[in-house]
Amino acid sequence: MEYIVETNRLTKRFGKELAVNGLDIKIPKGEIYGFLGPNGAGKTTTIRMLLGLMHPTSGTVKVFGKDLAKERIEILKQIGSLVENPSYYPHLTAYENLETIRKIYGAPMERINDVLTIVGLSDVAKKKVKGFSLGMKQRLGIAASLLNNPQLLILDEPTNGLDPSGIIEIRNLLKQLAAEYGITILISSHLLSEIDQIATSVGVISKGNLIFQDSIESMRLYSMRKILLKVNNSERAWHLLISRGVKADYEKEIISLSNMSDDDIAEVVRLLVENGYSIYRVEEEKRSLEDTFLQMTSEASGI
């Protein structure tokens, strides 16, 4: 598999504080990678190191297969980024703001109209930015990050402070950039519900530690249903299941089964009935992805 971003034991200390601890991030080409974690988890510090804005205490960063420490300028020419709130000249139009950035990149003039079209701001190109909504300003920031035709787009909390319609606009835009233009995207957020709507793969960071990294589908498996069984002589019934190789938990006279197929559950019920146990109740308990995320990060607090 080709990785656009690959870090090895990436670490950052501020004095005695360990802000980022040995991260091994792998972002496959063409993915929308959701970089997820509570506020203060180390997301922005990591992003600053990926962009060469901050030197790691130890560890390495490879982007496009190149060492960031050795080929920083060459790498950054192919990256677009939006870190924290974009700053503009409010008295200038959207077009004029992009023109100031275009000159720095050395991009062709026609690229301004291209990116305004991509982000859906062509009709307000000649309007002053001071009259823009927050969502329009974020889209303008993404337009600016696309001027150099990047292969990789790094966005730090791009939907922060937006209303629901603004969030949907940014979400649809990012999906379009990945699908139509083949851009690999890293998007950080503290909201799992937001990442779940857009990401194809996800990394979860908590207190500087990467506690999960896989596809969004794999993360959904963590929130798979749990089956709860209420039976007579429940503790003895649980011991029977364990002795037969069934993975089951027992708490407060309830037997719980996780990540089992319907056929497996039917087999457990049959086993209990054949051994003389009365089954009073079979219930399904489902955890939301949000609950899964909160459990992951609370467990990681003990790291």
Q: Is the pLDDT of residue 71 over 60?
A: yes
Can you spell out the DSSP letters for 88-156?
A: --TTSBHHHHHHHHHHHHT--THHHHHHHHHTT-GGGTTSBGGG--HHHHHHHHHHHHTTT--SEEEEE
Mean predicted confidence (pLDDT) in 137-159? 94
Q: What is the pTM of this model?
A: 0.79
pLDDT for the residue numbered 194: 86
pLDDT for the residue numbered 123: 96
With a pLDDT cut of 90, the percent of the chain lying above it is 73
Q: Is the pLDDT of residue 27 over 90?
A: yes
pLDDT for the residue numbered 261: 79
State pLDDT tens for residues 107-133.
999 999 999 999 999 999 999 999 999
pLDDT for the residue numbered 66: 96
d(CA 160, CA 23): 25
